[in-house]
Homo-oligomer: A and B are copies of this chain.
């Protein structure tokens, strides 16, 4: 069984990565990892879909037993990537996608050097600002903070393998699909295909 590939996808808030991944998720053979957290469930959220909602004791037990690929603590709550489902889906030959911010992504880079890193960029900072403002839900100060945060994140794109610039959504979806398809043909994943072709 050919092992799947681990993809780590980052990009600033408003870059459209959620919309892109919602489309990628429809492809068979793709598993999108669900993060774990110790924060309380909010209205409209579903356990195992929005997050795996864990107790603090359970999360700390996972940390001790190398059961999370990366984690961080924000505002007194843990957030992290459970290792077991990622490993299981990779072993089953599926591509696994982690949507994760830049600091967590670089922790994955250390633990999983074979992972492939995609950065989704907005077409421009000014367009990102326009999109955030269009949502109409955020105070001006929040928007300015997000743009400043996006700037810091975009400077981290140099540490990724690929950068997809999300100008037209359909193009960006096709870009991400092309990356997934191309990576499955990398020679490192296909040594056994050489043997198969030769009939060994």
Residues of A at the B interface (CB closer than 8 Å) are 119, 121-126, 151, 154-155, 157-158, 160-165, 174-175, 177-179, 181-183, 185-187, 190-191, 193-194, 196-199
Chief secondary structure at chain A's binding surface: helix
Task: Tell whether, in the assembled complex, residue A151 and residue B186 are in contact, meaning their CB atoms are under 8 Å apart.
Answer: no
Task: Tell whether, in the assembled complex, residue A185 and residue B175 are in contact, meaning their CB atoms are under 8 Å apart.
Answer: yes
Contact of A162 among B121, B179, B182 (CB under 8 A): B182
Copies per complex of this chain:
2
5 closest A-B pairs (Cβ-Cβ)? Answer: A182-B182, A178-B181, A178-B178, A179-B182, A162-B185
Question: Given A179-B182, A194-B154, are A187 and B162 neighbors across the interface (CB < 8 Å)?
Answer: yes
| A106 CA / B178 CA spacing, docked (Å) | 26
Q: Which residue of B lies closest to A162 (CB)?
A: B185
Q: Which residue of B lies closest to A186 (CB)?
A: B162
